[in-house]
Amino acid sequence: MGVEIERKYLVRDVSVVAGLSGTRLRQGYLSVDPERSVRVRVSGRLAFLTVKGITSEGGARRAEFEYEIPLPDAEELLDSLALRPQIDKTRYRVEAGGFTWEIDVFAGENEGLVVAEVELPSETTAVVAPDWIGEEVTGDARYYNVNLVSHPYKEWDKAR
Amino acid sequence: MGVEIERKYLVRDVSVVAGLSGTRLRQGYLSVDPERSVRVRVSGRLAFLTVKGITSEGGARRAEFEYEIPLPDAEELLDSLALRPQIDKTRYRVEAGGFTWEIDVFAGENEGLVVAEVELPSETTAVVAPDWIGEEVTGDARYYNVNLVSHPYKEWDKAR
Protein backbone atom coordinates (compact mmCIF):
# COMPACT_ATOMS: atom_id res chain seq x y z
CA MET A 1 0.00 0.00 0.00
CA GLY A 2 1.08 3.59 -0.49
CA VAL A 3 0.10 6.95 0.85
CA GLU A 4 -0.71 9.74 -1.58
CA ILE A 5 0.36 13.25 -0.73
CA GLU A 6 -1.06 15.61 -3.30
CA ARG A 7 -2.51 19.04 -3.71
CA LYS A 8 -5.35 19.90 -6.03
CA TYR A 9 -6.16 23.20 -7.73
CA LEU A 10 -8.67 24.57 -10.18
CA VAL A 11 -7.21 25.48 -13.56
CA ARG A 12 -7.77 29.15 -14.40
CA ASP A 13 -6.41 28.99 -17.94
CA VAL A 14 -7.26 25.79 -19.79
CA SER A 15 -5.13 26.80 -22.80
CA VAL A 16 -2.18 25.24 -20.90
CA VAL A 17 -3.19 21.87 -22.39
CA ALA A 18 -3.91 23.18 -25.92
CA GLY A 19 -2.13 21.00 -28.49
CA LEU A 20 -1.06 18.37 -25.92
CA SER A 21 -2.15 14.77 -26.26
CA GLY A 22 -3.88 13.33 -23.22
CA THR A 23 -5.07 9.97 -22.00
CA ARG A 24 -8.77 9.25 -21.80
CA LEU A 25 -9.72 7.93 -18.36
CA ARG A 26 -12.99 6.20 -17.69
CA GLN A 27 -13.72 5.34 -14.09
CA GLY A 28 -16.56 4.14 -11.97
CA TYR A 29 -17.02 3.18 -8.35
CA LEU A 30 -18.01 -0.06 -6.65
CA SER A 31 -18.08 1.80 -3.32
CA VAL A 32 -18.40 5.54 -2.75
CA ASP A 33 -17.99 5.17 1.00
CA PRO A 34 -15.26 7.79 1.70
CA GLU A 35 -13.66 5.50 4.32
CA ARG A 36 -13.26 2.65 1.81
CA SER A 37 -13.89 3.77 -1.76
CA VAL A 38 -13.33 1.19 -4.51
CA ARG A 39 -12.64 2.48 -8.02
CA VAL A 40 -12.38 0.77 -11.41
CA ARG A 41 -10.30 2.76 -13.90
CA VAL A 42 -9.54 2.24 -17.56
CA SER A 43 -6.56 4.32 -18.70
CA GLY A 44 -5.80 3.70 -22.35
CA ARG A 45 -5.05 -0.07 -22.58
CA LEU A 46 -4.43 -0.44 -18.84
CA ALA A 47 -6.96 -1.06 -16.10
CA PHE A 48 -6.81 -0.83 -12.31
CA LEU A 49 -8.84 -1.59 -9.21
CA THR A 50 -8.05 0.94 -6.47
CA VAL A 51 -9.09 1.04 -2.82
CA LYS A 52 -8.71 4.32 -0.95
CA GLY A 53 -9.13 4.98 2.75
CA ILE A 54 -10.29 8.02 4.63
CA THR A 55 -8.59 11.33 4.08
CA SER A 56 -6.76 12.53 7.17
CA GLU A 57 -7.07 16.04 8.57
CA GLY A 58 -5.92 18.58 6.02
CA GLY A 59 -6.87 16.27 3.21
CA ALA A 60 -3.45 15.54 1.66
CA ARG A 61 -2.82 11.94 2.89
CA ARG A 62 -4.87 8.90 1.91
CA ALA A 63 -4.15 5.19 2.20
CA GLU A 64 -4.23 3.76 -1.32
CA PHE A 65 -4.06 0.19 -2.60
CA GLU A 66 -3.93 -0.18 -6.39
CA TYR A 67 -3.96 -3.40 -8.43
CA GLU A 68 -3.70 -3.78 -12.18
CA ILE A 69 -6.51 -5.95 -13.55
CA PRO A 70 -7.26 -7.30 -17.05
CA LEU A 71 -8.82 -4.68 -19.36
CA PRO A 72 -11.85 -6.89 -20.27
CA ASP A 73 -12.60 -7.34 -16.54
CA ALA A 74 -12.51 -3.58 -16.00
CA GLU A 75 -14.76 -2.95 -19.00
CA GLU A 76 -17.28 -5.49 -17.74
CA LEU A 77 -17.11 -4.08 -14.19
CA LEU A 78 -17.78 -0.57 -15.54
CA ASP A 79 -20.52 -1.70 -17.91
CA SER A 80 -22.42 -4.00 -15.57
CA LEU A 81 -21.53 -3.43 -11.91
CA ALA A 82 -20.15 0.04 -11.22
CA LEU A 83 -22.33 2.88 -9.96
CA ARG A 84 -23.54 5.52 -12.40
CA PRO A 85 -22.90 8.13 -13.59
CA GLN A 86 -19.22 7.41 -14.20
CA ILE A 87 -16.26 9.74 -14.50
CA ASP A 88 -15.04 10.47 -18.01
CA LYS A 89 -12.04 12.76 -18.31
CA THR A 90 -8.88 13.35 -20.29
CA ARG A 91 -5.63 13.62 -18.36
CA TYR A 92 -2.72 15.75 -19.53
CA ARG A 93 0.75 16.00 -17.96
CA VAL A 94 2.50 19.35 -17.78
CA GLU A 95 5.94 20.06 -16.25
CA ALA A 96 6.08 23.38 -14.41
CA GLY A 97 7.98 24.77 -11.42
CA GLY A 98 9.90 21.53 -10.93
CA PHE A 99 6.74 19.46 -10.56
CA THR A 100 4.68 17.24 -12.84
CA TRP A 101 1.11 18.48 -12.92
CA GLU A 102 -1.73 16.17 -13.88
CA ILE A 103 -4.50 18.20 -15.47
CA ASP A 104 -7.91 16.55 -15.74
CA VAL A 105 -10.40 17.95 -18.22
CA PHE A 106 -13.77 16.43 -17.37
CA ALA A 107 -16.49 15.46 -19.85
CA GLY A 108 -20.04 14.18 -19.49
CA GLU A 109 -21.83 15.17 -16.30
CA ASN A 110 -18.74 17.05 -15.09
CA GLU A 111 -18.03 19.01 -18.28
CA GLY A 112 -16.62 22.46 -17.53
CA LEU A 113 -14.52 21.25 -14.61
CA VAL A 114 -10.73 21.33 -15.04
CA VAL A 115 -8.46 20.49 -12.09
CA ALA A 116 -4.70 20.14 -11.68
CA GLU A 117 -3.04 17.83 -9.17
CA VAL A 118 0.56 17.69 -8.06
CA GLU A 119 2.04 14.78 -6.11
CA LEU A 120 4.50 15.80 -3.40
CA PRO A 121 7.32 13.99 -1.60
CA SER A 122 6.13 15.23 1.79
CA GLU A 123 3.29 17.20 3.33
CA THR A 124 5.61 20.13 4.00
CA THR A 125 6.88 20.54 0.42
CA ALA A 126 6.19 24.08 -0.80
CA VAL A 127 4.37 24.33 -4.13
CA VAL A 128 5.07 27.19 -6.51
CA ALA A 129 1.86 27.42 -8.53
CA PRO A 130 2.22 28.30 -12.23
CA ASP A 131 0.14 31.28 -13.45
CA TRP A 132 -2.49 29.07 -15.10
CA ILE A 133 -3.39 27.67 -11.65
CA GLY A 134 -6.44 29.02 -9.81
CA GLU A 135 -7.89 28.37 -6.37
CA GLU A 136 -6.52 25.48 -4.29
CA VAL A 137 -9.22 22.87 -3.58
CA THR A 138 -7.17 20.22 -1.72
CA GLY A 139 -9.43 18.67 0.89
CA ASP A 140 -12.60 20.16 -0.62
CA ALA A 141 -14.73 17.03 -0.74
CA ARG A 142 -16.88 18.28 -3.64
CA TYR A 143 -13.92 17.79 -5.96
CA TYR A 144 -13.20 14.18 -4.96
CA ASN A 145 -13.89 12.01 -8.00
CA VAL A 146 -15.98 9.80 -5.75
CA ASN A 147 -18.29 12.76 -5.04
CA LEU A 148 -18.31 13.95 -8.65
CA VAL A 149 -20.17 10.70 -9.35
CA SER A 150 -22.97 11.31 -6.85
CA HIS A 151 -23.05 15.10 -7.28
CA PRO A 152 -21.57 16.04 -10.67
CA TYR A 153 -20.22 19.52 -11.46
CA LYS A 154 -23.06 20.35 -13.87
CA GLU A 155 -25.51 20.18 -10.93
CA TRP A 156 -23.54 22.48 -8.65
CA ASP A 157 -24.88 25.85 -7.61
CA LYS A 158 -22.01 28.00 -8.88
CA ALA A 159 -23.69 31.33 -8.07
CA ARG A 160 -22.18 31.65 -4.59
CA MET B 1 -14.39 -12.77 -14.80
CA GLY B 2 -16.21 -15.95 -13.97
CA VAL B 3 -19.71 -16.95 -13.03
CA GLU B 4 -20.24 -19.05 -9.92
CA ILE B 5 -22.92 -21.71 -9.99
CA GLU B 6 -23.26 -23.13 -6.53
CA ARG B 7 -25.77 -24.51 -4.10
CA LYS B 8 -25.67 -23.94 -0.36
CA TYR B 9 -27.05 -26.11 2.44
CA LEU B 10 -27.10 -26.15 6.20
CA VAL B 11 -25.05 -28.96 7.74
CA ARG B 12 -27.19 -31.23 9.92
CA ASP B 13 -24.33 -33.32 11.29
CA VAL B 14 -21.14 -31.34 11.95
CA SER B 15 -19.21 -34.52 12.85
CA VAL B 16 -18.54 -34.86 9.09
CA VAL B 17 -15.52 -32.55 9.57
CA ALA B 18 -14.29 -34.16 12.81
CA GLY B 19 -10.57 -34.91 12.54
CA LEU B 20 -10.14 -33.02 9.23
CA SER B 21 -7.76 -30.12 8.94
CA GLY B 22 -9.31 -26.93 7.62
CA THR B 23 -8.15 -23.52 6.46
CA ARG B 24 -8.86 -20.47 8.57
CA LEU B 25 -10.52 -17.74 6.50
CA ARG B 26 -10.72 -14.17 7.65
CA GLN B 27 -12.74 -11.85 5.49
CA GLY B 28 -14.14 -8.38 5.57
CA TYR B 29 -16.04 -6.17 3.16
CA LEU B 30 -15.24 -2.82 1.58
CA SER B 31 -18.75 -2.78 0.09
CA VAL B 32 -21.77 -4.76 1.25
CA ASP B 33 -23.92 -3.48 -1.62
CA PRO B 34 -25.37 -6.77 -2.96
CA GLU B 35 -25.07 -5.48 -6.56
CA ARG B 36 -21.34 -4.81 -6.19
CA SER B 37 -19.91 -6.36 -3.03
CA VAL B 38 -16.15 -6.07 -2.51
CA ARG B 39 -14.49 -8.61 -0.21
CA VAL B 40 -10.98 -8.89 1.23
CA ARG B 41 -10.09 -12.47 2.17
CA VAL B 42 -7.06 -13.95 3.88
CA SER B 43 -6.88 -17.71 3.36
CA GLY B 44 -3.78 -19.14 5.03
CA ARG B 45 -0.82 -17.34 3.37
CA LEU B 46 -2.87 -16.19 0.37
CA ALA B 47 -5.02 -13.10 0.04
CA PHE B 48 -7.65 -12.00 -2.46
CA LEU B 49 -9.79 -9.04 -3.41
CA THR B 50 -13.11 -10.21 -4.84
CA VAL B 51 -15.92 -8.29 -6.50
CA LYS B 52 -19.30 -9.98 -6.84
CA GLY B 53 -22.33 -8.79 -8.74
CA ILE B 54 -26.01 -9.25 -8.18
CA THR B 55 -27.41 -12.73 -7.78
CA SER B 56 -29.76 -13.64 -10.62
CA GLU B 57 -33.19 -15.19 -10.11
CA GLY B 58 -32.90 -18.47 -8.27
CA GLY B 59 -29.71 -17.33 -6.62
CA ALA B 60 -27.22 -19.75 -8.17
CA ARG B 61 -25.37 -17.47 -10.65
CA ARG B 62 -23.21 -14.49 -9.67
CA ALA B 63 -20.65 -12.52 -11.64
CA GLU B 64 -17.35 -12.80 -9.77
CA PHE B 65 -14.00 -11.11 -10.30
CA GLU B 66 -11.18 -12.29 -8.04
CA TYR B 67 -7.63 -10.93 -7.81
CA GLU B 68 -4.78 -12.18 -5.65
CA ILE B 69 -3.22 -9.37 -3.64
CA PRO B 70 -0.19 -9.23 -1.30
CA LEU B 71 -0.91 -10.65 2.17
CA PRO B 72 0.32 -7.50 4.01
CA ASP B 73 -2.07 -5.38 1.91
CA ALA B 74 -4.99 -7.66 2.82
CA GLU B 75 -4.10 -7.57 6.49
CA GLU B 76 -3.93 -3.79 6.45
CA LEU B 77 -7.20 -3.55 4.52
CA LEU B 78 -8.91 -5.81 7.09
CA ASP B 79 -7.38 -4.06 10.10
CA SER B 80 -7.92 -0.47 9.01
CA LEU B 81 -10.46 -0.13 6.19
CA ALA B 82 -12.91 -3.04 6.05
CA LEU B 83 -16.33 -2.92 7.66
CA ARG B 84 -16.89 -4.65 11.02
CA PRO B 85 -17.70 -7.18 12.28
CA GLN B 86 -15.71 -9.43 9.95
CA ILE B 87 -16.24 -13.06 8.98
CA ASP B 88 -14.05 -15.61 10.72
CA LYS B 89 -14.56 -19.23 9.68
CA THR B 90 -12.71 -22.47 9.06
CA ARG B 91 -13.23 -24.15 5.70
CA TYR B 92 -13.06 -27.92 5.26
CA ARG B 93 -13.25 -29.86 2.00
CA VAL B 94 -15.17 -33.13 1.83
CA GLU B 95 -15.65 -35.39 -1.22
CA ALA B 96 -19.11 -36.95 -1.36
CA GLY B 97 -21.48 -38.07 -4.10
CA GLY B 98 -19.04 -37.12 -6.86
CA PHE B 99 -18.79 -33.52 -5.69
CA THR B 100 -16.36 -31.51 -3.58
CA TRP B 101 -18.20 -29.90 -0.70
CA GLU B 102 -16.84 -26.82 1.04
CA ILE B 103 -17.97 -26.81 4.64
CA ASP B 104 -17.66 -23.53 6.53
CA VAL B 105 -17.70 -23.62 10.33
CA PHE B 106 -18.22 -20.07 11.51
CA ALA B 107 -16.70 -18.49 14.63
CA GLY B 108 -17.10 -15.13 16.36
CA GLU B 109 -20.42 -13.39 15.77
CA ASN B 110 -21.61 -16.25 13.57
CA GLU B 111 -20.63 -19.15 15.86
CA GLY B 112 -23.09 -22.03 15.61
CA LEU B 113 -23.58 -21.64 11.88
CA VAL B 114 -22.25 -24.42 9.63
CA VAL B 115 -22.95 -24.37 5.88
CA ALA B 116 -21.88 -26.55 2.97
CA GLU B 117 -21.47 -25.31 -0.59
CA VAL B 118 -21.04 -27.26 -3.77
CA GLU B 119 -19.90 -25.73 -7.05
CA LEU B 120 -21.68 -27.08 -10.13
CA PRO B 121 -20.79 -27.19 -13.83
CA SER B 122 -24.27 -25.99 -14.83
CA GLU B 123 -27.46 -24.75 -13.25
CA THR B 124 -29.25 -27.95 -14.23
CA THR B 125 -26.76 -30.36 -12.60
CA ALA B 126 -28.61 -32.59 -10.12
CA VAL B 127 -27.12 -32.70 -6.61
CA VAL B 128 -27.28 -35.87 -4.54
CA ALA B 129 -27.05 -34.56 -0.99
CA PRO B 130 -25.09 -36.69 1.51
CA ASP B 131 -26.94 -37.60 4.72
CA TRP B 132 -25.10 -34.99 6.80
CA ILE B 133 -26.69 -32.26 4.67
CA GLY B 134 -29.73 -30.38 5.98
CA GLU B 135 -32.00 -27.75 4.48
CA GLU B 136 -30.99 -26.08 1.20
CA VAL B 137 -30.47 -22.33 1.65
CA THR B 138 -29.28 -21.37 -1.86
CA GLY B 139 -30.60 -17.90 -2.59
CA ASP B 140 -31.55 -17.23 1.05
CA ALA B 141 -29.95 -13.83 1.46
CA ARG B 142 -29.53 -14.22 5.25
CA TYR B 143 -26.77 -16.74 4.60
CA TYR B 144 -24.74 -14.56 2.23
CA ASN B 145 -21.43 -13.80 3.92
CA VAL B 146 -22.03 -10.17 3.07
CA ASN B 147 -25.20 -10.23 5.18
CA LEU B 148 -23.62 -12.26 7.98
CA VAL B 149 -21.47 -9.17 8.56
CA SER B 150 -24.38 -6.77 9.01
CA HIS B 151 -26.73 -9.29 10.66
CA PRO B 152 -24.69 -12.11 12.22
CA TYR B 153 -26.14 -15.53 13.03
CA LYS B 154 -25.96 -14.98 16.82
CA GLU B 155 -28.51 -12.16 16.47
CA TRP B 156 -31.02 -14.14 14.44
CA ASP B 157 -34.41 -15.02 15.82
CA LYS B 158 -34.21 -18.80 15.45
CA ALA B 159 -37.54 -19.48 17.18
CA ARG B 160 -39.60 -19.46 14.01
Q: Locate the chain B residue with the closest alpha carbon to A1.
A: B73
Average predicted confidence (pLDDT) for chain B: 90
Per CB-CB distance under 8 Å, the chain B contacts of A67 are 49, 67, 69
Per-residue model confidence (pLDDT) at position B160: 55
Comparing CB atoms, the residue among B1, B49, B53 nearest residue A67 is: B49
* Separation in Å, CA of A3 to nearest CA in chain B: 13
How far apart are the C-alpha atoms of B12 and B124, rounded to whole Å? 24
Is pLDDT above 80 for B60?
Answer: no
Q: Given an 8 Å threshold on Cβ–Cβ distance, is A1 in contact with B76?
A: yes
Q: How confident is the model at residue A19 (pLDDT cuts 50, 70, 90)?
A: very high
* pTM for the model: 0.74
* Separation in Å, CA of A105 to nearest CA in chain B: 28
User: Annotated active-site positions of B, please?
Assistant: 29
Q: Given an 8 Å threshold on Cβ–Cβ distance, is A65 in contact with B73?
A: yes
Q: Given an 8 Å threshold on Cβ–Cβ distance, is A51 in contact with B49?
A: yes
Per-residue model confidence (pLDDT) at position A2: 64
For the residues of A38-107, what is the DSSP string, one character each?
A: EEEEEETTEEEEEEEEEEPTTS-EEEEEEEE--HHHHHHIIIIIS-SS-EEEEEEEEEETTEEEEEEEE-
Catalytic residue flag (residue A144): no
